[in-house]
Each structure stands twice: as structure tokens, then as C-alpha cells.
Chains A and B, each alone.
Chain A
Amino acid sequence: MITKKSSKILKYTLAYIAVLLFVFPLYVIINNSLKPFADVRISEMWIPAQNLSFEGYAEAFVKLGQNIQNSFMLVIPVSLFSVMFGAIIGFIFAKVKFKYSNTIFALVIFGMFIPYQSILIPLVRTMNTIGLYGHLSGLMVTHVIYGLPISSLMFRNYYAKLPDELLEAGMIDGLRLVGVFRKVVVPISLPTMVVVLIWQFTSVWNDFLFAVVLTQRPSIQPITVALQNLAGTQVIEWNVQMAGALIAAIPTLLVYIFLGKYFIQGLLSGSVKG
């Protein structure tokens, strides 16, 4: 839209005031994470660090290193399984018509909106019964299952736009449904695979509720739970807490910075229609 010059200046001003509001918490976190413990004083949170030090980071790494590793070991397989199952389910709901398929799909999708509190007690009992409670693999299974609705939805929305002729051409060449999926559909699914992959990476990395309920032992806890434990101790080692918070944020921040386009695409498909 064409606008007057004076209003352009006003808009720039407002846009950059907003930038300040979004960024100042980052200043707090970076500034205080770089202070040596001796310089960390309660009243001086806003004053720029005088003597830069990586003390905080060193200690945060010692305390959280194992948990970062746990998070990666959790997030990578979950994301890959989500892509695999999501693609299959999404494809079938998009292209194979069967009785009540729309109703069943609505029931699938509802699963991503429920408050997980409403399944937590049975989940803990079940994990206990099958021996996965308190293990990283139990958390993994949980995330794969409750990630199915959103992953399937993303793939379904993508596959629904594929022209039927493309798939029918594959059938004429003698392929069956499974063959069409593997040889025709999968090779052109890469963009959506990336969207689902980084969506699941981000949401599983950031999850707290499932992790805090299903993992009791500190040695297997993912980073979010460990960070909360670290920050929950009332000893004020700010530099360590701030460094820990930044370390916990970096993997998803990097994904966002380098694959932002796909991240936003995933974000918008959360509103069902995309």
C-alpha cells in the first residue's frame, strides 16, 4: 500500500520500538550469562558486564551437558518417526476415500488440542505396566504418539493439493498404491518432511509437561526439566542460570534462524487449514 512519508516515519519508529521490546530480554540473558560469579550482584542486572567471563557457561555445561545429550537422543528419533508415520497417515486420509474418513480424521486431529493433563494418569500407569516409565524410550513413544495428529495434518494438507492425475499415471505404469506412495509421492514430499521434522524437533525439545511427569531420574531428564531444576534452586548463581537458559534455547533458535520459512509454515498449519 502506498503511504505518505510522514506516516512512513511514524511506522519505522513504532516498528523499532517493538524490536526493542522483543529484544531487551535477550540483552538481560546474554549480559548476565557473561558476568563472572564475583561480579553478579543482585541490583546490577541491567548494567553491562565489565569483565567478560565464560564461567557461567562452563558451569552450565557441566550441570546440563548430560541433559542436552538426552534431549538430542529424544528429539531426533521422535522427529524421524513423526515424519514417517505422519506421511503414511496423511497420504491415506488425503487420497484414499473410505467410509467415515472425514469423521475419523476429525477425531485424529482433536488429539492435538486436548489438554494432556486429561491423559496423564493413565499414561503413567500404562508406561509403568509396560516397563517404560522413567526411561527415555517411554518419553519417546509418548511424543511419537501424541505427535501423530499434527504430523498427519501437515502431510494431509500437502497431499490434498497433489493432482490425482499424477498418482493415476503411476498406477497406469503398473504401480500399486504402496508403490505409488514410495516411488511417486515420497520423492516430492521433501518440503513437508522438513516442515514436520523441524516442527516436531522444536515442540519436543521445548516440551516440559510429559518430560517432568515421565522422567524422575536427573540423569535421563531432558534439558527443559534440568533447566527448571537448576533455576529452581534458590542460590543465586545468575550467570549459570542465564547461561543454562541460553544453552537450552540455542538449538531451536538456530533451527528458527536458518529454517525460519519452514518453521512459520508449520506454525500456520496449527490452525487446521494452514
Chain B
Amino acid sequence: MYCAKKDRRIAVLILLPMLLVLFIFVYGFIAWSLRISFTDWNSILPNMTSVGFENYQRLFSSQRFQTDIRNTIFFTLFFLVICIVGGFFLSYLLYSKLRGESFLRTIYLFPLSLSFVVTGVLWRWIFSPEVGINSLFRMMGFEATFGWFTSTYSIGGFNVALIALIIAASWQYLGYTMAMFLAGLRGIPDQLIESAQIDGAGELAITWYIILPLIKPITFSAMIVLGHISLKIFDLAYVMTGKGPAFVTDFPGLFMFETTFRGNHYAEGAAISIIMLILVAVVIVPYLISTLRGDSE
């Protein structure tokens, strides 16, 4: 847009203080955390003596952090697969012009408006071994003794206690991928599908050869957004399960919170938070660059 030089200067002057505050609170604080992560500040009193990578080394050799990383990987994997496959499936149902579509969409999406705290309180009861879903199975005459999130059973490094958390998180976020895919499906020109039908293509063929390739970019965006949510997961695990016996439901976010604000291990907490930041940045930065570049062209 055309804009007089004087006006542009005013705009920058208005912008500057706001950006300054934001950048201090984001980048300044990140730098500060990074600095803390290299110190020996592991008690109440600040101690800024540098110890190099000691905190990081200690973390990577600790049982708890190794379990956290494994939990994060498995959680992310299952959460992504369920949300993407399930979300596409739901959006496809709505795309088929079912009656009552807006009712269905409202139902599929409502958990997104809830807090993870509400979800956590609710699903903790549902998966509580003595009372929850187990007692429903017992009422139906099955023997149900599975410990859900209290189970310490593990298959090839996958702590089965995570299943309860994965289900709760997917319940909350399925609607999100559904909404993304539905928006994408609505963008496909009708003629494209009609002409394929005239050529004799069946529903499965149309889905496989026309629809899926067209919504690939959405799948990619959904993976990025959900992936970064699950890398940061904290609220849900904190409320629903806590760290669990032998850390079966522990995550870096939980570890960071406990060690910093309950145990006063500030340097260790800072180191965990920096690792979390790096993990998220690896996912988000390339995505940001590619979308914003595409935008300005």
C-alpha cells in the first residue's frame, strides 16, 4: 500500500514498544533460561556459577528423563495417527452430505472448547481402575482388571499406561483435524469429482486418487500443529495422572514443573525447558519459514 514516509515512521514508532516488550518476554527470557541451564542453581538461592553442560549430561543419563523422551515419542506417534486418521474419517462422513450435519459437527468439536483440566478430571475418573470403565465392563459380565494409567506394564518401551492419556487427548483434539480436513474437502471443486464419477470411478477410487492427494498439505499442517502440542503436553498429564509409578506417564513438561517449582532445581528445570524448546523449534521453524515465504509471494 502507498504510505507516506512520515506515516511509515509513525507506524514503526507505534509498533516498536509493543515489539520490544514481546521480544524481551520471548527471546530475552529464552536467553535467560539458556543461561540458567548452564549454571549450578539447584537450590532456592540463585547461584550463577557456570558448570557448562553438566545439567544436560545429568538429564540425559537420568532414568526419568529417558523415560520422558520415550513417552513423548510414543504419545506423539499415537496421538497424531489417531487424530489424523480419525479426523479425516469424520470429516469424510460430514462431507458426504449427511442430514443433521451441523449437529454432528457441533458434537465432534465441543471437547476443543474445554480446558485440559476439565478433560483431565473427567477422564481420570473414567479410567480409574476400580470405578471407571472397568466397572462398566464388570457390569456387562467381563472380568476387568486392567490398571489403565496405573499399569506399569511396558511393551518394547511403550508404557501401556499412556493409552489412557492418548485416548483423552485424542477425544479432545479429533475435532480439530476434522475441522481442518472438512475445510480442505469443501475446497475441492465439485466438477473434479463429478467428472471422475462420469468416468466410472467408484467412491474408494475417488478418495484414494483424487481426494487424498489434494488434502496432503492439510495433513502436513495438522501434523505440525498437533505434533508441537504433544511435545509440550503438561496440563492433561498433570491433572489426569501425574508422573505415575516409575514415571510411566511422565513428560518433560511435568518434570520441568516439578523439579523447578517443587524441588527448586532451577538449572535442571531450565535445561529441560531448553530441550523442549529445541524439539518444538525443529518442528515449527521450517514450517513457519515455508508458510510465510509462500505468503509473501
Are A249 and B115 CB-contacts (below 8 A) given A1-B203, A46-B139, A271-B221? Answer: yes
Q: Is the interface of B mostly helix, strand, loop or mixed?
A: helix
The digit string for A159-171, where 1 denotes a CB below 8 A from any CB of B, is 0000010011001
Are A209 and B122 CB-contacts (below 8 A) given A22-B111, A117-B253? Answer: no
Are A97 and B3 CB-contacts (below 8 A) given A42-B130, A45-B131? Answer: yes
Contact A102 B296 (CB under 8 A): yes
Contact B36 A273 (CB under 8 A): no
Is A263 at the interface (CB under 8 A from chain B)?
Answer: yes
Question: Cα distance A206–B236 when bound, in Å?
Answer: 12
Q: Find chain B residues with CB under 8 A from A190 CB.
A: none
Contact B30 A119 (CB under 8 A): yes
Q: Find chain A residues with CB under 8 A from B197 CB.
A: 1-2
Are A110 and B96 CB-contacts (below 8 A) given A121-B266, A270-B225? Answer: no
Is A178 at the interface (CB under 8 A from chain B)?
Answer: yes
Contact B113 A255 (CB under 8 A): yes
Contact B1 A260 (CB under 8 A): no
The digit string for B216-236, where 1 denotes a CB below 8 A from any CB of A, is 000001101100100110110
CB closest residue in chain A, given B95: A1
Min distance, Cβ A237 to any Cβ of chain B, angstroms: 12
Contact A110 B106 (CB under 8 A): no
Q: Is the interface of A mostly helix, strand, loop or mixed?
A: helix
CB closest residue in chain A, given B217: A273
Provide a sorted-by-A list of 26 A–B residue pairs whose CB atoms are within 8 angstroms.
A19-B104, A42-B131, A45-B131, A89-B19, A102-B296, A108-B19, A108-B22, A109-B288, A109-B292, A114-B277, A115-B273, A116-B232, A117-B269, A118-B273, A118-B274, A121-B269, A122-B28, A123-B25, A176-B10, A208-B117, A252-B114, A252-B115, A256-B113, A260-B109, A268-B183, A272-B291
Question: Cα distance A176–B274 when bound, in Å?
Answer: 45
Min distance, Cβ B28 to any Cβ of chain A, angstroms: 7
CB closest residue in chain A, given B110: A256
Question: Cα distance A168–B266 when bound, in Å?
Answer: 53
Q: Find chain B residues with CB under 8 A from A19 CB.
A: 104, 107-108
Is B214 at the interface (CB under 8 A from chain A)?
Answer: no
Contact A96 B1 (CB under 8 A): yes
Partner of A273 from B19, B106, B112, B291 at Cβ < 8 Å? B291
Instruction: Give 11 A-B pairs besides A8-B96, A111-B26, A227-B118 with Cβ atoms closer than 8 angstroms.
Output: A1-B96, A45-B135, A102-B296, A107-B27, A108-B22, A117-B257, A118-B30, A120-B33, A171-B2, A245-B121, A248-B118
Question: Cα distance A263–B288 when bound, in Å?
Answer: 23
Is B246 at the interface (CB under 8 A from chain A)?
Answer: no
Contact A98 B225 (CB under 8 A): no
Count of chain A residues with Cβ under 8 Å from any Cβ of B?
A: 96
Is A135 at the interface (CB under 8 A from chain B)?
Answer: no
Partner of B107 from A22, A98, A207, A271 at Cβ < 8 Å? A22
Question: Cα distance A242–B228 when bound, in Å?
Answer: 30
Is B148 at the interface (CB under 8 A from chain A)?
Answer: no
Partner of A227 from B121, B123, B203, B294 at Cβ < 8 Å? B121
Partner of A267 from B22, B25, B112 at Cβ < 8 Å? B112
Question: Cα distance A153–B285 when bound, in Å?
Answer: 16
Is B295 at the interface (CB under 8 A from chain A)?
Answer: yes
Question: Cα distance A242–B179 when bound, in Å?
Answer: 29
Is A57 at the interface (CB under 8 A from chain B)?
Answer: no
Min distance, Cβ A60 to any Cβ of chain B, angstroms: 12
CB closest residue in chain B, given A2: B197
Q: Find chain A residues with CB under 8 A from B294 CB.
A: 273
Are A248 and B107 CB-contacts (below 8 A) given A88-B18, A115-B253, A177-B7? Answer: no
Q: Find chain A residues with CB under 8 A from B36 CB.
A: 121-122
